[in-house]
Chain A
C-alpha cells in the first residue's frame, strides 16, 4: 500500500503539474487569469475524439490537430474577448469564465455526453514496480510532465519568442521601449497556454472519459496548484503539484476519495491566509510584508 501510494502519488503530482502548466504560462506572461482554461482542455479532448472517430484520422495526427486547434482558439479568445477588457482584472475573470461556461455547455447542448467519449491510450500495457502495477499511460503522464517542463524552460530561456515572453512578464513598459508588441506576445501566450492544455488533455484523458463537467475540476486543480505554488512561478508549480498531488493520494488511500477535492480547496484557503502570493510567488510580496 505504501509503495502504491508513493507511485500513484507521484503520477498524480505529474498530472497536476501538466494540468497547471498552461494556466500558469498564460498568467505569468500576459497577466491574464484564463478561466476558460478548463473548457479549452475539454474542447481539445472532444476535438481529438471527433478527428479520430468521425473523420477516421490516424491518432497521432488527431493529437497534433487538436493541439493546433486549441492554440488557435486561445489566440482567438485573446483577440476577441480578453484584449477588450485587458487590465480590468474582474472583467477578465468574468469574461473568460463566462466564455468557458458557454463552450462547455455548447458541448452538452450538442449531446456530447455519455461514456463513449474516451481517447485511446498512447501506449497499451502495464508494468510491475514491486507488487504495484502501473499502466504505461500513467508513465506517459510522468514523461509528458518532465518533457513539457524541460520544453518550457528551454523555450523561455533560449528562444527569441521565449525571451520576449519573459521580458513582457518582467516589465511590460521596458519591453515596449525595445519594440516588443505586448498584445502580440500576450496573444501568443494564450495560444501556448491553450496548446499546453491540449497536450495535457491528450495525455490525461485516456485515463478517464471526456466529460463536460471535467472542465470545472481541471480549472479548480490548475487554480489550486498555481495559487499554492505562486502564480507565474514554474518552480512553484512543480512544488505545489507534488504537495497537493501527494496530499490527494494519501487522502484517497487512507481516508476517502470524497475528501480529495477538499484538499485543493483547503490548500487554497491556507495559502491565501498565510502567504497570498503563494510559496514561490512574488506578485504582492511587498504588500504582504508591509
Chain B
C-alpha cells in the first residue's frame, strides 16, 4: 500500500469515527436509579418491572429535563435478597453501598424490601445525601425517624402503603363484617417479619380492642412455613368467625387451600400476598372462593372508578404480556419514577437536598389516586381517590376479584362463602 493510499485510508477511518466521538462527548450522562430489592419475591420482581416501564416511557419521551439538559434515566438493579429467610440486613446495606459508590446511583428507587433493612439503610442514604423512595417496606418506624430527626433522615420517602394505613382498611373491613354479619371473634395468623407483626399488634390495639372484638388466638409463622394446620385448628377450636392472615411470603397462599380442606367455619379476611393477583384462582385449584384480600394500592388491581388505575394495569399487561399479580408495590414503583422526574425538573438539579425539597411538594394524580406526601414523608392514603392515594379490599368470587371496600370504589358487597352463616 502506497503512503498516499495509507493517508487517505487513515483520513476516511478518522472521519468514520468522528460522529461516534461527537455523540460520546456530547450525550447527556444518564441519571442512575439504584434498585436494591428482592427479586425472588413477586413484589420485588414486578416492582422492578414497573420501574423499568416508567423509565422507558420517560426516556422515549426525551428523558428528564435537568436545568435545560435532557438526561435519560438508567436503572441499575441488584437482587439484595433481603426478603428471604436468613439473609442478614448487612447484605442489603452492602447492596445499597455498591449502588451508590460503584454504580453512581443518584437515587435509590423502590428501596429495600423489608422494613428491617430499609430502616437501617436510612442512615446510609443520609450519609451520602441520596434520596430514597420506598416501595415495599411498611413499618411506620421510618416515619418516626423522619419526624424525630428531620435533617438527618429527610432523604427517605415512602410511596407505598404503610402498616397504619393497612390497619385502617382492615379495620374498616372488620367493622363492615361486624355490622353486616355480627362477627366479633377473630384469630390472627401472621408472619414473623416487622411489618406483619406490627400490623397484628396494631390491629389488636387500634381495632379489635376498641371495637369490642374477642381475639381468640394469634399464631406467628416463620418466613418459609407452609403448614398452617396448627393455627387453623386453634382458630376452629376457639370458635373464630374471622381469620385475619398477614403474610407476604409465596408459601402463604396454601393457607387458604388448607382452610378450605379443613373446613374451618371462619371467613378469611386479611392479606395473603399470593391471593392478590388474577392467577391465584387457578394456582390454588379454585379453593379460594370467598376469601377477602387487601390490595395495598389501587392500580395493582384495576378499579373502574379510578380510570388511571385501569390505564396503568392495562399498560403493564400490554408491555409484559401478563397482568400484575402483586397486590403491593407495582403501582407505587411506577409512580415513584414520575415523582422523581417531576422533582428533578422542578429542582433543575439532581442534588439530593434540592430534590428532597421538591419531592415534599409532590401533588400528582396517578394510578393510585392523588399522591401527596405528609410531613413524615409518607404518601397519604384515604378513601377518596380524588383527594388521596388508595388501597382497597377484594373478595374472590367465581374466579373474579370483586372490589368490596371502601364504599367509594366498591363494585359489590361482601358475601359469605358457602357453609358460613351470619350470627345476627
Contacts and interface: CB of A to CB of B under 8 A. Distances in A.
B is bound to A: yes
Interface of A: 1, 4, 8, 12, 108, 113-116, 118, 120-121, 124-126, 128, 132-135, 137, 207-209, 211-214, 217, 249, 252-253, 256-258, 260-261
Contacts of B263: 126, 128, 133
Contact of B224 (A125, A126, A128, A211): A211
B283 interface: yes
Contact of B222 (A1, A137, A258): A258
Nearest to B219: A257
B42 A115 contact: yes
Interface of B: 39-42, 45, 84-85, 192, 219-222, 224-227, 229-231, 233-234, 237, 250-254, 258, 261-263, 273-274, 279-280, 283-285, 325
B250 A1 contact: no
Given A1-B234, A113-B40, A126-B261, A257 B222 contact: yes
Given A208-B226, A213-B84, A118 B284 contact: yes
Contacts of A108: 40
Given A126-B263, A209-B254, A257 B226 contact: no
23 contacts: A1-B234, A108-B40, A113-B45, A113-B250, A114-B42, A115-B252, A115-B273, A118-B254, A118-B283, A133-B261, A133-B262, A134-B261, A135-B258, A135-B261, A135-B262, A209-B253, A211-B251, A212-B40, A217-B224, A249-B230, A252-B230, A257-B220, A258-B222
A213 B249 CA distance: 12
A115 B280 CA distance: 9
A258 B273 CA distance: 20
B226 A213 contact: no
Contacts of B325: 114
Contacts of B224: 211, 213-214, 217
Contacts of B273: 115
Contact of B251 (A4, A133, A209, A253): A209
A213 B226 CA distance: 12
Question: Chain A's interface: helix, strand, loop or mixed, by majority?
Answer: mixed
Contacts of B250: 113-115, 209, 211
Contacts of B226: 207-209, 211, 214
A244 to B, nearest CB: 14
Nearest to B279: A116
A115 B45 contact: no
Interface centre among A108, A120, A125 (most CB of B within 10 A): A108
Nearest to A205: B226
A208 B251 contact: yes
A124 B285 CA distance: 10
Given A116-B279, A257-B222, A261-B222, 18 more contacts: A4-B229, A4-B233, A113-B45, A115-B251, A115-B252, A118-B253, A120-B285, A133-B262, A207-B227, A207-B254, A208-B254, A211-B250, A212-B40, A213-B84, A213-B85, A257-B220, A257-B230, A257-B231
Which of A137, A253, A261 has the most C-beta atoms of chain B within 10 angstroms of its own C-beta?
A253
A207 B84 CA distance: 21
Contacts of A213: 84-85, 224
Nearest to B326: A114
A260 B261 CA distance: 23
Nearest to B254: A208
Given A208-B226, A256-B220, A258-B220, A1 B261 contact: no
Contacts of B284: 118
B77 to A, nearest CB: 14
Nearest to A136: B261
Contacts of A261: 222
Nearest to A4: B233
Contact of B283 (A115, A126, A207): A115
A134 B234 CA distance: 15
* 8 cross-chain pairs, A with B, having the tightest CB-CB distances, nearest first: A208-B226, A115-B274, A135-B261, A252-B230, A115-B250, A113-B40, A4-B233, A126-B261
A260 B220 CA distance: 12
A114 B45 contact: yes
A256 B254 CA distance: 19
Contacts of B285: 120-121, 124
B254 A8 contact: no
A253 B279 CA distance: 32
A103 to B, nearest CB: 16
A126 B85 CA distance: 32
Nearest to A3: B233
Contact of A8 (B220, B222, B230, B253): B230
A128 to B, nearest CB: 8
Given A113-B41, A208-B226, A126 B262 contact: yes
B233 A8 contact: yes
Contacts of B230: 8, 249, 252-253, 257
A12 B192 CA distance: 22
